[in-house]
Structure 1
Amino acid sequence: MGRIDVFVAPRPNPALINVMTIVNRIVMLHGVPGLRDLLPFNRLAGLRGVANVRHIDFPAADQQRLQACCGEGQATFITPNHPEFFTDWMIDKEIVSRVSPLAASWATHGVVNGLGRLMQKFWLANNLIAQIPGNSEAAKAHSVDWALKGYGVLLHPEGSVGWHGNYVAPLLPGAVEMGLAALPRGRETNTDFKVWVAPVVWKLAFTGNVERALARECAYVEKSLKIEGAANGPLPERVYRLYSTLLSRDEQACGVTAQESVPYAVRQQRVLTELGKRLAEDVAADAGLDLAELLRRSRRWLRDGKAGADAQKGVRKLTETIQRIQRVGSWAFVNATITQEEIAEHLKRLRNDYCKGSLRDTINRFVPQPAGPRCAHIRVPEPLGLHAYDGSVDEALALLRSRMQDAVTKIVTEVDAAGGFISYPNPFYHR
């Protein structure tokens, strides 16, 4: 135990899981009533609620839909969207505590295995499954075994956090593949055995105006990255200036002429095209490949380890740069307005990707603090029954993603119609 890249099967402790459900609900999410809004207590994350999620909007019908997929005679893979780090596990735990408390949850090996032996035992007792990059077969096998017992397994099909709460990224196939592996095993003893992939989505919305707090965070990022900001300027424009300046640095580094008058999306694509050409040349790949396939081949090239250390370092730096620049996706450019929630996501992404070196920044990456109290709107789209499905894995992923995106869009529409968002003109907007 304690080796970060070695899988150790979870050892769930029901008593500890029940205690941590209460701790999660009070300390991590809601805070302590009567203290969470009073100075100086509201400055203490544990009293205010570390994730500051004051309200959970989880309709009974949605909860019952998910609960019906869990239990004896069926294997369930619960697949929530992944809009925010740290808050993800806190909300996920609240969800499973209501429908199947002993569900296992996937988490990065850096958390499960990388914090020492005692913390590893703690996370394993909380039924966390360590996701080990490049070596996930043991985790998948355990997940199938556990799901067959009827408890359920939760994992994020989007993969890593993208900080885009209104948009569901392309899904990874793990949950569907494990579900298909579980089906014939379940049918060995029960011809009516069912396997579900149960999507869940949640959207966080501030409960009030948090512009002042967002402006303070923006000023911190400006100072940290040595980018001059307009202290009294519109907040969206300041965030756009941060990204535009950082993109200018990338343009300069790869020899692309910076043209700040050109839309951000166009400039971004020019840089990515140039970096893609260089990466294709370094890994001897076809320059005509799209970036997603090129990145997959580059990761495979790195795993093969046939090149020298300097060549590997260069390819690794190129892939990391491409992925960092891509993290502002097409979803940022499509709407003429931008909400405070989306501004908060931009700032958190900036801090995660660019602000490094200080203890404050390290803590922020692991436990990012929201700008104010929030409500989590949780919905459960129609689950996909693999026992009654005869399509391909890719078709299943497309169907699941469509259902998840429709559910997220519906939440956003409902909250907006109720006046729940504060919006501004979007400087990233590009027709």
Structure 2
Amino acid sequence: MSRIDVFVAPKPNPALIRAMTSVNRIVMLRGIPGFRDILPFNRLAGLRGVANVRHIDFPHADLERLRASCGAGKATFITPNHPEFFTDWMIDKEIVSQVSPLAASWATNGVVNGLGRLMQKFWLANNLIAQIPGNSAAAKEHSVAWALKGHGVLLHPEGGVGWHADIVAPLLPGAVEMGLEALNRGRAADPDFQVWIAPVVWKLAFTRNVETALAKECTYVEKSLKIEHHATDTLPQRIHHIYSTLLARDEAAWGLSSNEGATYAERQKALVAKLGRRLGESIAVDTVVTDDLLRRARRWQRENTGDAERQKKVRALADTIQRLQRVGPWASANPRITPEEIAEHLKRIRNDYCKGGLRDTMNRFIPQPAGPRRAHIRVPDPLGLHEYAGSVDDAVAELHRRMQDTVASTVAELAATGSFIFYPNPFYRH
């Protein structure tokens, strides 16, 4: 078995974690005042702030709400939303440094185990837990044991990054399941033991107009994907044209004629349905396209490694469906679109379609924002499993509701104060 798929328990180094908290705050997030806005220094990510999050809006009441659910005598699973890669851990680390400094954090095995032995040792010393796809039992066991010691465990219940900060994707049940296991063990020793699922959400907003920078990135994407745009197109229209062209290429590749009179969402739905039927036939599953179908396809690939040709077909179908579904109904739900949403579209396109070069590889690991931003952090009411009588599914649904409601109220609050620029959204009608 490859080292990337072997779980190794973290060995947290408190001194290193404290030092990295300061590095994270200055180098990764805020940048260095006096350098971050002056050429040529602001071209250096470490001086500008790699994630370029200049300001953090974390109300005291929200901070105290999170602190109250952490500490000795309780097990806490902190569950942030997952709108952006790389910035996620930087903001998450800033949050846990204030409520549970020795919290463990889940991360993909490609990061923890896949960058060499020295980097693996570094990540384990920073208390990162490697998520091993299809084999997470050891990570869960370690998480429960760590949480029972009074330290938090942070994991993203949405799973992978979707690049849609205004929408919380369907949640995975892992945090709730581990919380219930911790409750059973904790109550065996202390009948008053508490277990909290502590959701956190954050929304990033640009602090100035970044249309020029977004247009430059859009031009790079168009050239990389060999897509021409009309000179009169607005920036949102260019994004829509990129996605429409990519969808047409997928339609042609899978033998489906493109209905030019249909909206993007209608065309996408038709293609996904067709590919879903093919995937179901390939793995002998009679079901519609759901997350369950994709999970079955991944399981089929793990269990049927001997049929190379069929493996290739199943992988291609599952990967295409998953990629297409990353542009969800939320894209066409509102008549207006913001620069923040345009930036998310660009990063999603680059992650899913622009591959092969060093520049795009770096972008997937350390995506660079179009300009300085402010992080607005909010804490919904934590879910106390020690006083919750519902099922796992009920708890997950309640957690999702609290997170989505808080995201929506935060976005509405920022819109009301003029924090966003709005453009007509071409996905809304096309």
Bucket of the pairwise TM-score, normalised by the shorter protein: over 0.9
* Offset at residue 307 of structure 1 (A): 5.3
> Conserved in 2, the CA contact under 8 Å of 1:2 and 1:113?
no
Local SS of the residue matching 2:201: strand
* Offset at residue 289 of structure 1 (A): 2.6
Query: Identity percentage over the alignment?
Result: 72
Name the CA distance, whole Å, in 2 between partners of 1:322 and 1:2: 28
* Offset at residue 190 of structure 1 (A): 1.2
Q: Determine the structure 1 residue equivalent to 2:301.
A: 302
Q: Determine the structure 2 residue equivalent to 1:82.
A: 82
Q: Determine the structure 2 residue equivalent to 1:274.
A: 274
* Offset at residue 86 of structure 1 (A): 0.2
> Conserved in 2, the CA contact under 8 Å of 1:2 and 1:114?
no
> Conserved in 2, the CA contact under 8 Å of 1:77 and 1:147?
yes
Name the CA distance, whole Å, in 2 between partners of 1:183 and 1:90: 29
> Conserved in 2, the CA contact under 8 Å of 1:2 and 1:120?
no
Name the CA distance, whole Å, in 1 between partners of 2:156 and 2:302: 24
Name the CA distance, whole Å, in 2 between partners of 1:221 and 1:113: 30
* Offset at residue 233 of structure 1 (A): 2.4
Amino acid at match of 1:298: A
TM-score between the two structures when normalised by the length of structure 1: 0.98
Q: Determine the structure 1 residue equivalent to 2:41.
A: 41
Q: Determine the structure 1 residue equivalent to 2:165.
A: 165
Name the CA distance, whole Å, in 2 between partners of 1:255 and 1:391: 46
Local SS of the residue matching 2:32: coil
Q: Determine the structure 1 residue equivalent to 2:223.
A: 223
Name the CA distance, whole Å, in 2 between partners of 1:124 and 1:349: 29
Local SS of the residue matching 1:204: strand
Amino acid at match of 2:195: V
* Offset at residue 261 of structure 1 (A): 3.1
Q: Determine the structure 2 residue equivalent to 1:417.
A: 416
Change (3 A) 1:259 1:289: closer
Q: Determine the structure 1 residue equivalent to 2:66.
A: 66
1:336-415 aligned at under 5 Å gives the runs 336-415=335-414
CA distances 1:278-323 after superposition (whole Å, capped 9, x unpaired): 111111111x434322212212211221651110111011100000
Name the CA distance, whole Å, in 1 between partners of 2:121 and 2:413: 42
1:325-336 aligned at under 5 Å gives the runs 325-336=324-335
> Conserved in 1, the CA contact under 8 Å of 2:277 and 2:289?
no
Name the CA distance, whole Å, in 1 between partners of 2:113 and 2:321: 28
Amino acid at match of 1:313: K
Q: Determine the structure 2 residue equivalent to 1:6.
A: 6
> Conserved in 2, the CA contact under 8 Å of 1:244 and 1:260?
no
TM-score between the two structures when normalised by the length of structure 2: 0.98
Amino acid at match of 1:362: T
> Conserved in 1, the CA contact under 8 Å of 2:210 and 2:371?
yes
1:165-204 aligned at under 5 Å gives the runs 165-204=165-204
> Conserved in 1, the CA contact under 8 Å of 2:105 and 2:154?
yes
Q: Determine the structure 2 residue equivalent to 1:117.
A: 117
1:213-292 aligned at under 5 Å gives the runs 213-231=213-231, 233-286=233-286, 288-292=287-291
* Offset at residue 37 of structure 1 (A): 0.4
* Offset at residue 260 of structure 1 (A): 2.9
Amino acid at match of 2:11: R
Name the CA distance, whole Å, in 1 between partners of 2:283 and 2:300: 7
Name the CA distance, whole Å, in 2 between partners of 1:369 and 1:56: 18
Local SS of the residue matching 1:4: helix
Amino acid at match of 2:403: M
Name the CA distance, whole Å, in 2 between partners of 1:95 and 1:185: 27
Extract structure 1 runs of 4+ deviating beyond 6 A: none
Change (3 A) 1:2 1:32: farther
Amino acid at match of 1:344: A
Local SS of the residue matching 2:427: coil
CA distances 1:214-261 after superposition (whole Å, capped 9, x unpaired): 000000000000000235520000000000000000111112111233
Name the CA distance, whole Å, in 1 between partners of 2:114 and 2:305: 28
Q: Does 1:131 align with 2:122?
A: no
Local SS of the residue matching 2:9: coil
> Conserved in 2, the CA contact under 8 Å of 1:105 and 1:153?
yes
CA distances 1:29-83 after superposition (whole Å, capped 9, x unpaired): 0000111000111111000000000000000111011111111100000000000
> Conserved in 2, the CA contact under 8 Å of 1:206 and 1:341?
yes
Name the CA distance, whole Å, in 2 between partners of 1:230 and 1:370: 25
> Conserved in 1, the CA contact under 8 Å of 2:176 and 2:392?
yes
> Conserved in 1, the CA contact under 8 Å of 2:76 and 2:195?
yes
Name the CA distance, whole Å, in 1 between partners of 2:109 and 2:307: 27
Where do 5+ consecutive residues of structure 1 fail to align? none
> Conserved in 1, the CA contact under 8 Å of 2:273 and 2:289?
no
Name the CA distance, whole Å, in 1 between partners of 2:230 and 2:342: 16
> Conserved in 2, the CA contact under 8 Å of 1:219 and 1:231?
no
> Conserved in 1, the CA contact under 8 Å of 2:72 and 2:149?
yes
Q: Determine the structure 2 residue equivalent to 1:97.
A: 97
Q: Determine the structure 2 residue equivalent to 1:50.
A: 50
Superposed CA RMSD: 1.3
Give the stretch that moved more between structures: 257-266 or 111-120.
257-266
